[in-house]
Chain A
Amino acid sequence: MTSPTPQQPHTAPGATGAPAATEEPPAYQETRIERAIGRGLARVSARALAPYQTAVIRIGFAGTWLLFLLREWPNRQELYGPAGPFDFTMVRQLLTGNHGFSLLLWSGSGGWFECVYLLALAAAALLMLGWRTRTMSVLFMVGVLSLQNRSVFVGDGGDNVLHLMSMYLVLTRCGQVWSLDARRARRAAAAGVPDRGPDSPRDLPGIVLWAVLGLALAAAQVAGAPGLTWFGHGPFPHIGWSLALWGLWAAHGLWWAVRRHAPGEPRTVLDTLTVLAHNAGLLVIMVEVCLVYATAGWYKIQGSRWQDGTAVYYPLHLDYFSPWPGLSQLLGGTGLSVMLITYGTVIVQVAFPFTVFNRRLKNALLVVMVCEHLSIAFLLGLPFFSLAMITADLVFLPTNFLTWFGGRCSALRRRFRPAGAPAPDRAAGRSPAEAAAGSGGDGPTLVG
């Protein structure tokens, strides 16, 4: 980050969000608008914004999905398996109609299903740890889409959040801090290993991973796997999944080659393009969170129960959403508390998208919303939905808080580290992102 102040949502990249130009001796005869565009472009192409926030949501979404997959491990056949209630012929019929992408459409065998489930588990775990983050974010997305599109009728709001965010995360450099990638880069920097040019390490694991994934994709392509079209239905209209996945694969290869063999201007150009994609993805994630709250709030305002202040009473008395009936009845016991929670929920949800422009108000509402989701997790028995929503909220946390939190975690870890053992994370002290950005003063400690 350029400034020590927390990253503000309104400084997120935006095509329209460029600040108005202030008085400055003009170098060229540019109009105000040209200057504004120039500044905006400089800002969103200079560096990948919000490294801590994107790391937090990476850990949060991958962790939520990982815990969910582990929780459902005993039920995986029943939920997603080829011989479960929603069997292979049904999913083929459904996905042929709506063109959803799923690896599980490629084969109806039980072995293939187990492989895909394990792949989804492994990708979630590795993305959470930040090992080969950019590659794992693609595999994470493939895992999420494959399982969720396989059985859309067992999902809920939490699955929906993960579905969207798994795709948006692919665009972001979400491993800049708090990842194994960042730790590796830091150690290499401390050891004086160049990170570019012909003398930089060849990165054998990366090459192997890239080659294996390319071969796997090629094999699927040659075998005519369903869903792998070039210009058919894909992540965007007329951009098929083949084009998208091969494009990502080629981009990874190109980045490696350019870093090693063209460390000058070509690398800078590629880096800038990556930064632009990251900042665009970050903006989309933030707006998406605002859309969730805006929709949830605005539709509630139209409901008579939310107007008369009794709405919260009803979910607490639904058999499917009251794991703790005694507690639910206690909470829904007095009219005043139910009304306050009902009105408070609507106010917070409607207000949130507007408060992102005011740091203090936004942080106060974040606390309220995280608390509300924690109670939903428990009272309504929706832990994974709540975890996904809390993670989505965290993209708006201030950087100051995140670096403080990271410092606390590092301190805690050092306390439990055996005396005398080196603390490698302290070696460089700061991530490459920060070091390059030159954020001064007491460099925050990082969690490896």
Chain B
Amino acid sequence: MQSYGDESRPLSALSLPSRIVIGTAASGIAVAVLIHLAMMFLHVAPSNTLSRQQSALISDYVYPEYEQNWKLFAPNPLQQNTAVQVRAHLRDQDGTVRTTGWTDLSARDGQAILHNPLPSHTQQNQLRRGWELLSGTLDAKNTPTGERGGMFARYFRRIVMLRMSGEWTRGGARVEEIQLRAQTTAVLPPPWSGEKISDRPVYRVLPWWRITAGDLPEGATNQ
């Protein structure tokens, strides 16, 4: 099953049925390769006449297994740092409710990445991409919308609770609600460029979210 025969032999030495089989297979494979490569090209190329006309056909072929995005730092690299910060309403054992200070989760990721030759996806991608997904579904009032908005919001609450619940509930407090805000700071242009932009952070503050049992991944607790 695993030995590789690789002797060369002229196809013309084979019987007619064998040649028909090989010829048919070769044509089929050639057509399949051409179709596949055309689909891959149309998927990665900018939106054009053909890909707009055949968009349903292309996405049916490409998704989910051949999806790809090679716009690496293109057309322009990201020029801002987004830090996701979180705080909570905690109910202490005596019933009083207090509000925690803001915790910068992205800064913690940054600390974990600093001087780390092998950053984990949990440090480099989880929160960063989670926020990208969530912020894409937020409406003008910063409420998640659409079919996926609710899912991404719950996903993000679970990321937050996994990281923060230990600290918040240490003194026996119960996590009632959490609030997110994103602090976006522009990367200042290089000193030699002469461009002037503000490096004042811009905040996007989301409404308070109630924490329920569904927001607790394994290893997290709300009390």
Where the two chains meet, the residues of A that have a C-beta atom closer than 8 Å to any C-beta of B are 15, 41-42, 44-48, 71-72, 75, 77-79, 81, 83-87, 90, 93-94, 98-101, 132-135, 145, 149, 153-157, 160, 163-164, 167, 173, 175-176, 181-182, 184-185, 188, 195-196, 200, 203, 206-207, 210, 235-237, 252, 255-256, 259, 265, 267-269, 271-273, 275-277, 280, 283-284, 287-288, 291-296, 299-300, 302-306, 308, 310-315, 317-320, 322-325, 332, 335, 338, 378, 381-383, 432-433, 436-437
For B205, the chain A residues whose CB sits under 8 A away are: none
**Smallest CB–CB gap between B50 and chain A, Å?**
16
User: In whole angstroms, how far apart are the Cα atoms of A44 and B8 in the complex?
Assistant: 11
Q: Indicate which residue in A236, A267, A303, A319 contacts B76 across the interface (CB closer than 8 Å).
A: A303
**Smallest CB–CB gap between B75 and chain A, Å?**
3
User: In whole angstroms, how far apart are the Cα atoms of A322 and B106 in the complex?
Assistant: 13
For B2, the chain A residues whose CB sits under 8 A away are: 132-134, 175, 181, 184-185, 203, 206
User: In whole angstroms, how far apart are the Cα atoms of A299 and B76 in the complex?
Assistant: 9
Given contacts A47-B8, A432-B3, 17 further A-B contacts (CB under 8 A): A15-B31, A81-B218, A85-B126, A132-B2, A153-B125, A154-B129, A182-B4, A259-B1, A276-B22, A280-B33, A300-B75, A302-B75, A303-B77, A320-B106, A322-B113, A323-B119, A335-B190
User: In whole angstroms, how far apart are the Cα atoms of A201 and B122 in the complex?
Assistant: 48
For B154, the chain A residues whose CB sits under 8 A away are: 90
For A313, the chain B residues whose CB sits under 8 A away are: 189-190
- Establish whether residues A319 and B106, one from each chain, have CB atoms under 8 Å apart when the complex forms: yes
- Establish whether residues A167 and B190, one from each chain, have CB atoms under 8 Å apart when the complex forms: no
- Establish whether residues A156 and B11, one from each chain, have CB atoms under 8 Å apart when the complex forms: no
Is B202 part of the contact surface with A, judged by Cβ < 8 Å? no
- Establish whether residues B122 and A236, one from each chain, have CB atoms under 8 Å apart when the complex forms: no
Which residues 174-222 of B sit at the A interface, judged by CB distance below 8 A? 187, 189-190, 192-193, 217-219
User: In whole angstroms, how far apart are the Cα atoms of A164 and B61 in the complex?
Assistant: 14
For B33, the chain A residues whose CB sits under 8 A away are: 15, 280, 283-284
- Establish whether residues A323 and B4, one from each chain, have CB atoms under 8 Å apart when the complex forms: no
**Smallest CB–CB gap between A337 and chain B, Å?**
11
For B138, the chain A residues whose CB sits under 8 A away are: none
Chain A: CB-nearest residue to B107: A319
Which residues 28-46 of B sit at the A interface, judged by CB distance below 8 A? 29-34, 36-37, 40-41, 44-46
- Establish whether residues A433 and B29, one from each chain, have CB atoms under 8 Å apart when the complex forms: no
Chain B: CB-nearest residue to A156: B125
**Smallest CB–CB gap between A105 and chain B, Å?**
12
- Establish whether residues A276 and B29, one from each chain, have CB atoms under 8 Å apart when the complex forms: yes
* Residues of B within 8 A of A (CB-CB), count: 88
Beyond A163-B65, A323-B115, is A272–B22 a contact (Cβ under 8 Å)?
A: yes
Q: Indicate which residue in A188, A310, A312 contacts B189 across the interface (CB closer than 8 Å).
A: A310
For A155, the chain B residues whose CB sits under 8 A away are: 121, 125
- Establish whether residues B118 and A383, one from each chain, have CB atoms under 8 Å apart when the complex forms: yes
Chain B: CB-nearest residue to A110: B218
- Establish whether residues B18 and A269, one from each chain, have CB atoms under 8 Å apart when the complex forms: yes
Where the two chains meet, the residues of B that have a C-beta atom closer than 8 Å to any C-beta of A are 1-11, 14-15, 18, 21-23, 25-26, 29-34, 36-37, 40-41, 44-46, 60-61, 63-79, 81, 83, 106-107, 109-110, 113-122, 124-126, 128-130, 133, 151, 154-155, 158-159, 162, 187, 189-190, 192-193, 217-219
Chain B: CB-nearest residue to A207: B1
Beyond A98-B64, A311-B73, is A269–B14 a contact (Cβ under 8 Å)?
A: yes
For B109, the chain A residues whose CB sits under 8 A away are: 319-320
Chain B: CB-nearest residue to A74: B120
User: In whole angstroms, how far apart are the Cα atoms of A320 and B128 in the complex?
Assistant: 8
- Establish whether residues B78 and A314, one from each chain, have CB atoms under 8 Å apart when the complex forms: yes
- Establish whether residues A47 and B79, one from each chain, have CB atoms under 8 Å apart when the complex forms: no
User: In whole angstroms, how far apart are the Cα atoms of A385 and B38 in the complex?
Assistant: 25
Beyond A45-B26, A237-B60, A314-B77, is A72–B5 a contact (Cβ under 8 Å)?
A: no
Chain A: CB-nearest residue to B65: A235
- Establish whether residues B6 and A47, one from each chain, have CB atoms under 8 Å apart when the complex forms: yes
- Establish whether residues A195 and B3, one from each chain, have CB atoms under 8 Å apart when the complex forms: yes
For B67, the chain A residues whose CB sits under 8 A away are: 160
- Establish whether residues B117 and A378, one from each chain, have CB atoms under 8 Å apart when the complex forms: yes
Chain B: CB-nearest residue to A71: B118
User: In whole angstroms, how far apart are the Cα atoms of A184 and B137 in the complex?
Assistant: 55
- Establish whether residues A154 and B36, one from each chain, have CB atoms under 8 Å apart when the complex forms: no
**Smallest CB–CB gap between A83 and chain B, Å?**
3
Of B11, B23, B64, B193, which is in contact with the most chain A CB atoms at under 10 Å from its CB? B64
Beyond A155-B125, A300-B73, A324-B115, is A149–B158 a contact (Cβ under 8 Å)?
A: no
Of A41, A132, A256, which is in contact with the most chain B CB atoms at under 10 Å from its CB? A41
- Establish whether residues A75 and B121, one from each chain, have CB atoms under 8 Å apart when the complex forms: yes
Beyond A85-B126, A268-B18, A323-B117, is A94–B30 a contact (Cβ under 8 Å)?
A: no
Chain A: CB-nearest residue to B216: A83
Chain B: CB-nearest residue to A130: B2
For B190, the chain A residues whose CB sits under 8 A away are: 310, 313, 332, 335, 338
**Smallest CB–CB gap between B215 and chain A, Å?**
10
For B106, the chain A residues whose CB sits under 8 A away are: 319-320
For A323, the chain B residues whose CB sits under 8 A away are: 113-117, 119
User: In whole angstroms, how far apart are the Cα atoms of A335 and B46 in the complex?
Assistant: 31
Of B22, B29, B44, B67, which is in contact with the most chain A CB atoms at under 10 Å from its CB? B29
- Establish whether residues A287 and B37, one from each chain, have CB atoms under 8 Å apart when the complex forms: yes
User: In whole angstroms, how far apart are the Cα atoms of A90 and B81 in the complex?
Assistant: 29
Q: Indicate which residue in B1, B66, B72, B122 contacts A296 across the interface (CB closer than 8 Å).
A: B72
Q: Indicate which residue in A79, A175, A236, A293 contacts B61 across the interface (CB closer than 8 Å).
A: A236
Can you give 14 A-B contacts (C-beta < 8 A)?
A42-B10, A45-B11, A45-B26, A71-B118, A149-B64, A167-B65, A175-B2, A259-B3, A269-B22, A273-B22, A306-B76, A318-B187, A322-B113, A436-B7
Q: Indicate which residue in A196, A271, A303, A320 contacts B113 across the interface (CB closer than 8 Å).
A: A320
For A319, the chain B residues whose CB sits under 8 A away are: 81, 83, 106-107, 109-110, 113
